A and B are shown apart, each in its own frame.
Chain A
């Protein structure tokens, strides 16, 4: 019984981390209709920012998270403003392709710049844990979970309550009308994409503390983020939390009952099913 409880707890905490990874992707996809295949590369870059902040400047990784956000925000803003804005009105498929190309380039440059050496972000408290009703809870994962919730709430508030947030949503829904209201689309798009990248940066920093940092961590994380975003539903940030939790728990349970090699079958299989049966996801409103 306590094995099941531990596995469930693992699943929930994993789900929190997953949700954090998918948040930026869901924002950019749901609002800008850009499917960002380079999302994993942004996560990877965020991890490196935190790594160098920690080992080079002795900044605590959690304190370095805002730094990662800032750096990735700037990077994402520039990328959208001067490259992606050039193709944004083309068929959606084109942005898919171009972000794939960007992913290839970023991974390559990362390897040149950082080398393929194994690295981890290993602060003294990285392995700390405490007991909860017979199960062990890793401290960092719990913190990641809390950060995921906080950021999701912040994003929801931002999009629905602030002027800028509403401008972003307006631009996404009706470009012409938004322009009439004085919204400048190039800047708005760039801001949104920058935000998405910033969120990926946070996820990256935490991933580096929980797991490791190398130029290739991005690829599988992009695929996972997709699954979460779609399963949860792109319409609301809350959907990402739901999607993340759902996937985290499913993977943990599958690993326990079917075997560790079936986790991917489960997650992607569910993704396919959701797309076929209810493409808007668990929390999405039917179109």
Chain B
């Protein structure tokens, strides 16, 4: 019974979202595209950060690779959009495998710092590549009509969430969670940790890359600093963490909520918008480090004391 209610709600939600381009205003559609892409990114980070427990700042690298793969394919080699997207995704997978094997050996904050450094390196390298237009960037052809991008973004989010759903119930997923909880024990139990980690990294990368490709074509302009934007990576982490890392819908909820408020601020009280994310991060990390999903689960038992509990366990 519960199951069919859930499926029903999901179905209605999807139908409404999918038909939105026909009755919503243009600015709502663009908010939709932007949010759907962010939700996809948060969800992709969820795979490597939430399930495998490897806090990666490298998803912005995959995003950038996807953006540039698509842009170069379309602008320099005049290939169609779909091929561009595939190229971007392929670049991401290659990168994930080649870099993933050495980098995933690092633990904890070293991994995070290393992926952050990788993002900086990519910005610097791409700025010097002529095929990528150097630091002046690439200009993509203009496509009128956002409906295509909207539907693509929605489709991508659905696919990514389905993959996360599969991960949560599969052996692969259990392996990842085992790695997250205690990597050495997982290895002893027979989990091929390197393979699993690299696979998670690559999966995470593919979705981030496709999101990047869609975004590049939509915005029609690409330059290294905004393509490999580390701030974007932090945003996707915050959204995922705020919503609940390691859960299926947590990152999506986090993305929608935070994105909605941020967009609202940016357009109405635009001067405060920059402050908003900073404050959200601080408050979320102190009071709800395990995200909304955890709040949802334990609020009923503990009420407002839930927040105080979080502080108590983590303070010195």
Contact = CB atoms under 8 A, between A and B. Distances in A.
Contact of B127 (A33, A92, A175, A261): A261
A89 B279 contact: no
A97 B281 contact: yes
Contacts of B237: 97
Interface in B114-149: 114, 116-118, 120-121, 123-125, 127-128, 135
B315 A88 contact: yes
Interface string A150-177: 0000000000000000000000000100
A185 B315 CA distance: 11
B109 A275 contact: no
Interface in B194-251: 234, 237-238, 241
A203 interface: no
Interface in A56-103: 83, 85-94, 96-98, 100-103
Interface stretch (B10-18, B151-159, B167-175, B270-278): B270-278
A104 interface: yes
Interface stretch (B1-9, B81-89, B100-108, B257-265): B100-108
Contact of B289 (A87, A102, A265): A87
A108 B124 contact: no
Nearest to A111: B274
Interface in A91-126: 91-94, 96-98, 100-105, 108
B316 A88 contact: yes
A53 B120 CA distance: 35
Contacts of A105: 275, 278-279, 282
Contacts of A275: 103, 106, 110, 113-114, 117
Contacts of B127: 261
B311 A86 contact: yes
Contacts of A33: 109
Nearest to B312: A86
Interface stretch (A9-17, A129-137, A222-230, A235-243): A222-230
B121 A265 contact: yes
B286 A98 contact: yes
A101 B281 CA distance: 5
Contacts of B112: 35, 93, 96
B119 to A, nearest CB: 9
B285 interface: yes
B109 A93 contact: yes
B278 A87 contact: no
B285 A98 contact: yes
A108 B285 contact: no
Contacts of B281: 97-98, 100-101, 104
A94 B285 contact: yes
Q: Find the residue from A96, A259, A264 having the highest chain B CB count within 10 A.
A: A96
Interface in A199-253: 223, 226-227, 230
B26 interface: no
A264 B106 contact: no
A38 B199 CA distance: 33
Interface of B: 55, 102-103, 105-106, 108-110, 112-114, 116-118, 120-121, 123-125, 127-128, 135, 234, 237-238, 241, 274-275, 277-282, 285-286, 289, 311, 313-316
Interface of A: 33, 35, 83, 85-94, 96-98, 100-105, 108, 175, 185-186, 189, 223, 226-227, 230, 259, 261-262, 264-265, 268-269, 271-272, 275-276, 279
Given A90-B285, A94-B285, A275-B106, 20 more contacts: A35-B113, A86-B314, A87-B314, A89-B313, A89-B314, A90-B314, A92-B109, A93-B109, A97-B241, A101-B279, A101-B280, A104-B275, A105-B279, A175-B316, A262-B124, A264-B120, A272-B114, A272-B118, A275-B113, A279-B110
